[in-house]
Structure 1
Amino acid sequence: MKILGVFTALSLGSLSTIATANNNYGYECRFGNELRVIEVVYLQRESPVPCEVRYIKEHSNEKLWNASYEVGYCETQAEQFVKKQQAWGWSCKKVMPSAGVSHEN
Protein backbone atom coordinates (compact mmCIF):
# COMPACT_ATOMS: atom_id res chain seq x y z
CA MET A 1 0.00 0.00 0.00
CA LYS A 2 2.88 2.34 0.78
CA ILE A 3 4.38 1.69 -2.66
CA LEU A 4 1.08 2.53 -4.32
CA GLY A 5 0.96 5.82 -2.39
CA VAL A 6 4.48 6.74 -3.51
CA PHE A 7 3.67 5.77 -7.11
CA THR A 8 0.48 7.84 -7.01
CA ALA A 9 2.34 10.83 -5.58
CA LEU A 10 5.01 10.56 -8.26
CA SER A 11 2.40 10.19 -11.00
CA LEU A 12 0.47 13.20 -9.76
CA GLY A 13 3.70 15.14 -9.53
CA SER A 14 4.49 14.50 -13.18
CA LEU A 15 0.94 15.39 -14.18
CA SER A 16 1.17 18.61 -12.22
CA THR A 17 4.15 19.56 -14.37
CA ILE A 18 1.86 19.43 -17.39
CA ALA A 19 -1.11 20.91 -15.53
CA THR A 20 0.75 24.06 -14.57
CA ALA A 21 0.48 24.83 -18.22
CA ASN A 22 0.49 28.50 -17.57
CA ASN A 23 4.28 28.09 -17.94
CA ASN A 24 4.83 28.57 -21.65
CA TYR A 25 8.27 27.53 -22.81
CA GLY A 26 10.22 27.23 -25.98
CA TYR A 27 13.45 26.35 -27.70
CA GLU A 28 15.94 28.75 -29.22
CA CYS A 29 17.63 27.23 -32.25
CA ARG A 30 20.69 28.90 -33.77
CA PHE A 31 22.60 28.34 -36.97
CA GLY A 32 25.34 30.89 -37.48
CA ASN A 33 23.70 34.29 -36.97
CA GLU A 34 20.20 32.98 -37.57
CA LEU A 35 17.69 32.37 -34.77
CA ARG A 36 14.53 30.28 -34.80
CA VAL A 37 12.18 29.93 -31.82
CA ILE A 38 9.83 27.00 -31.28
CA GLU A 39 7.27 27.79 -28.58
CA VAL A 40 4.76 25.71 -26.66
CA VAL A 41 1.97 28.10 -25.71
CA TYR A 42 -0.84 27.19 -23.32
CA LEU A 43 -4.05 29.08 -24.05
CA GLN A 44 -5.82 28.56 -20.70
CA ARG A 45 -4.43 29.14 -17.25
CA GLU A 46 -3.60 25.95 -15.33
CA SER A 47 -4.58 23.66 -18.20
CA PRO A 48 -2.35 21.78 -20.66
CA VAL A 49 -4.98 22.12 -23.40
CA PRO A 50 -5.77 23.94 -25.53
CA CYS A 51 -2.20 24.58 -26.65
CA GLU A 52 -0.24 25.64 -29.71
CA VAL A 53 3.23 25.11 -31.12
CA ARG A 54 4.52 28.28 -32.74
CA TYR A 55 7.54 28.70 -35.00
CA ILE A 56 9.12 32.12 -35.06
CA LYS A 57 11.78 33.23 -37.52
CA GLU A 58 12.82 36.70 -38.58
CA HIS A 59 9.53 38.54 -39.08
CA SER A 60 7.12 35.61 -39.18
CA ASN A 61 5.21 33.80 -36.46
CA GLU A 62 3.51 30.62 -37.63
CA LYS A 63 1.28 28.19 -35.75
CA LEU A 64 2.47 24.70 -36.69
CA TRP A 65 0.27 22.51 -34.46
CA ASN A 66 -2.49 22.87 -31.91
CA ALA A 67 -4.49 20.61 -29.64
CA SER A 68 -7.80 21.12 -27.90
CA TYR A 69 -8.12 17.82 -26.03
CA GLU A 70 -4.97 15.68 -26.33
CA VAL A 71 -2.67 16.36 -23.37
CA GLY A 72 1.00 16.13 -24.33
CA TYR A 73 0.45 16.60 -28.07
CA CYS A 74 1.99 20.07 -28.32
CA GLU A 75 4.98 19.11 -26.19
CA THR A 76 5.67 16.01 -28.31
CA GLN A 77 5.33 17.90 -31.60
CA ALA A 78 7.67 20.64 -30.39
CA GLU A 79 10.29 18.12 -29.22
CA GLN A 80 10.15 16.26 -32.53
CA PHE A 81 10.52 19.50 -34.48
CA VAL A 82 13.52 20.50 -32.34
CA LYS A 83 15.12 17.14 -33.17
CA LYS A 84 14.60 17.85 -36.88
CA GLN A 85 16.18 21.27 -36.50
CA GLN A 86 19.17 19.69 -34.78
CA ALA A 87 19.47 17.07 -37.52
CA TRP A 88 19.63 19.96 -40.01
CA GLY A 89 22.58 21.45 -38.09
CA TRP A 90 20.81 23.90 -35.78
CA SER A 91 21.90 24.14 -32.14
CA CYS A 92 18.82 24.26 -29.85
CA LYS A 93 18.32 24.89 -26.15
CA LYS A 94 15.19 25.00 -24.01
CA VAL A 95 14.24 28.42 -22.64
CA MET A 96 11.48 29.75 -20.41
CA PRO A 97 9.41 32.86 -21.28
CA SER A 98 11.47 35.02 -18.94
CA ALA A 99 14.37 34.53 -21.38
CA GLY A 100 12.44 36.49 -24.01
CA VAL A 101 10.65 33.68 -25.77
CA SER A 102 7.11 34.99 -25.37
CA HIS A 103 6.12 36.46 -28.75
CA GLU A 104 2.45 37.26 -29.18
CA ASN A 105 0.63 37.34 -32.51
Structure 2
Amino acid sequence: MDDLNRWLARGMAALLVSMFVVSDALADAWICTQGELIREVTIDYRAAPARLPCSVYYTKRTERAMPRAVWKANSEEGFCERKAEELVAKLESWGWQCTTDPETDRAEQNNEAADLRSPSQ
Protein backbone atom coordinates (compact mmCIF):
# COMPACT_ATOMS: atom_id res chain seq x y z
CA MET A 1 0.00 0.00 0.00
CA ASP A 2 2.87 2.38 0.75
CA ASP A 3 4.23 1.84 -2.76
CA LEU A 4 0.84 2.70 -4.24
CA ASN A 5 0.62 5.88 -2.13
CA ARG A 6 4.12 6.96 -3.19
CA TRP A 7 3.30 6.23 -6.84
CA LEU A 8 0.07 8.29 -6.59
CA ALA A 9 1.88 11.14 -4.82
CA ARG A 10 4.58 11.23 -7.51
CA GLY A 11 1.92 11.17 -10.25
CA MET A 12 0.02 14.05 -8.66
CA ALA A 13 3.23 16.03 -8.20
CA ALA A 14 4.16 15.48 -11.87
CA LEU A 15 0.67 16.57 -12.94
CA LEU A 16 0.83 19.74 -10.85
CA VAL A 17 4.30 20.59 -12.18
CA SER A 18 3.20 20.05 -15.78
CA MET A 19 0.13 22.26 -15.26
CA PHE A 20 2.34 25.00 -13.80
CA VAL A 21 4.85 24.75 -16.66
CA VAL A 22 2.11 25.03 -19.29
CA SER A 23 0.54 28.07 -17.67
CA ASP A 24 3.99 29.50 -16.97
CA ALA A 25 4.91 29.28 -20.67
CA LEU A 26 2.11 31.62 -21.62
CA ALA A 27 2.96 35.23 -20.99
CA ASP A 28 0.73 37.16 -23.38
CA ALA A 29 -2.76 36.27 -24.61
CA TRP A 30 -5.85 38.09 -25.79
CA ILE A 31 -9.46 36.99 -26.17
CA CYS A 32 -11.41 38.77 -28.90
CA THR A 33 -15.17 38.52 -29.35
CA GLN A 34 -17.65 39.63 -31.97
CA GLY A 35 -21.17 38.45 -31.32
CA GLU A 36 -20.96 34.70 -30.67
CA LEU A 37 -17.51 34.37 -32.29
CA ILE A 38 -14.31 34.09 -30.25
CA ARG A 39 -10.72 34.54 -31.42
CA GLU A 40 -7.58 34.01 -29.35
CA VAL A 41 -4.14 35.46 -29.93
CA THR A 42 -1.47 33.83 -27.77
CA ILE A 43 2.29 34.12 -27.53
CA ASP A 44 4.03 30.89 -26.59
CA TYR A 45 7.51 31.13 -25.09
CA ARG A 46 9.13 27.72 -25.48
CA ALA A 47 11.91 28.38 -22.98
CA ALA A 48 10.02 30.55 -20.47
CA PRO A 49 10.96 32.80 -18.80
CA ALA A 50 13.23 33.49 -21.79
CA ARG A 51 11.40 35.45 -24.51
CA LEU A 52 12.99 33.47 -27.36
CA PRO A 53 12.16 31.31 -29.17
CA CYS A 54 8.53 32.36 -29.41
CA SER A 55 5.47 31.74 -31.55
CA VAL A 56 2.25 33.71 -32.06
CA TYR A 57 -0.81 31.47 -32.29
CA TYR A 58 -4.20 32.47 -33.70
CA THR A 59 -7.23 30.37 -32.77
CA LYS A 60 -10.84 30.55 -33.92
CA ARG A 61 -12.20 28.98 -30.74
CA THR A 62 -15.93 28.92 -31.56
CA GLU A 63 -15.28 27.46 -34.99
CA ARG A 64 -13.25 24.61 -33.48
CA ALA A 65 -10.26 25.40 -35.65
CA MET A 66 -6.85 24.19 -34.51
CA PRO A 67 -4.49 26.89 -33.22
CA ARG A 68 -2.31 28.13 -36.05
CA ALA A 69 1.21 29.53 -35.63
CA VAL A 70 1.12 32.74 -37.66
CA TRP A 71 4.59 34.02 -36.68
CA LYS A 72 7.72 32.59 -35.08
CA ALA A 73 10.98 34.12 -33.93
CA ASN A 74 14.26 32.63 -32.80
CA SER A 75 16.54 35.66 -32.61
CA GLU A 76 14.60 38.95 -32.78
CA GLU A 77 13.52 39.94 -29.28
CA GLY A 78 10.14 41.70 -29.22
CA PHE A 79 9.07 40.32 -32.61
CA CYS A 80 6.30 38.06 -31.30
CA GLU A 81 4.96 40.71 -28.95
CA ARG A 82 4.87 43.31 -31.75
CA LYS A 83 3.17 40.95 -34.23
CA ALA A 84 0.59 39.79 -31.67
CA GLU A 85 -0.27 43.39 -30.75
CA GLU A 86 -0.58 44.28 -34.45
CA LEU A 87 -2.97 41.34 -35.00
CA VAL A 88 -5.08 42.35 -31.99
CA ALA A 89 -5.19 45.96 -33.29
CA LYS A 90 -6.30 44.69 -36.71
CA LEU A 91 -9.07 42.59 -35.14
CA GLU A 92 -10.22 45.59 -33.12
CA SER A 93 -10.26 47.76 -36.27
CA TRP A 94 -12.66 45.18 -37.75
CA GLY A 95 -15.03 45.56 -34.79
CA TRP A 96 -13.77 42.81 -32.48
CA GLN A 97 -13.70 43.50 -28.72
CA CYS A 98 -10.33 42.30 -27.37
CA THR A 99 -9.14 41.97 -23.79
CA THR A 100 -6.13 40.33 -22.23
CA ASP A 101 -6.76 36.79 -21.03
CA PRO A 102 -7.17 36.96 -17.21
CA GLU A 103 -5.65 33.46 -16.77
CA THR A 104 -2.52 34.60 -18.58
CA ASP A 105 -2.39 37.83 -16.57
CA ARG A 106 -2.42 35.76 -13.36
CA ALA A 107 0.43 33.56 -14.64
CA GLU A 108 2.44 36.66 -15.55
CA GLN A 109 1.82 38.19 -12.12
CA ASN A 110 2.95 34.93 -10.48
CA ASN A 111 6.13 34.99 -12.58
CA GLU A 112 6.85 38.59 -11.56
CA ALA A 113 6.25 37.77 -7.88
CA ALA A 114 8.59 34.76 -8.14
CA ASP A 115 11.24 36.99 -9.76
CA LEU A 116 10.98 39.40 -6.83
CA ARG A 117 11.39 36.56 -4.32
CA SER A 118 14.38 35.04 -6.12
CA PRO A 119 17.76 35.95 -4.63
CA SER A 120 19.72 38.26 -6.89
CA GLN A 121 22.84 36.85 -8.47
TM over 0.5: yes
Identify, as 1 or 2, the structure richer in helix: 2
Task: Give the Å deviation of 1:98.
Answer: 4.9
Q: Which amino acid aligns with 2:100?
A: K
Cα distance between partner residues in 2 of 1:68 and 1:96: 27
Task: Give the Å deviation of 1:93.
Answer: 0.4
Matches for 1:1-105 after TM superposition, within 5 Å: 22-57=25-60, 58-60=63-65, 61-98=67-104
Contact kept, 8 Å, 2:26 with 2:43, in 1: the verdict is no
Where in structure 1 are there 5+ consecutive unaligned residues?
Answer: 1-20, 100-105
SS at match of 1:45: coil
Distance verdict in 2 for CA 1:40–1:72, change over 3 Å = same
Q: Which of 1 and 2 has greater Rg?
A: 2
The list of structure 1 runs, each at least 4 consecutive aligned residues, that deviate by more than 6 angstroms after superposition, is: none
State the Cα deviation string for residues 51-103 of structure 1 (Å, max 9, x = none): 0000011222110000001110000000000000000000000114458xxxx
Q: What percentage of residue pairs aligned between the two structures are identical?
A: 30
Cα distance between partner residues in 2 of 1:97 and 1:69: 27
Where in structure 2 are there 5+ consecutive unaligned residues?
Answer: 1-23, 106-121
Identify, as 1 or 2, the structure richer in strand: 1
Q: Which amino acid aligns with 1:59?
A: R
* TM-score normalized by the length of structure 2: 0.60
Contact kept, 8 Å, 2:26 with 2:104, in 1: the verdict is no
* TM-score normalized by the length of structure 1: 0.68
Cα distance between partner residues in 1 of 2:104 and 2:70: 22
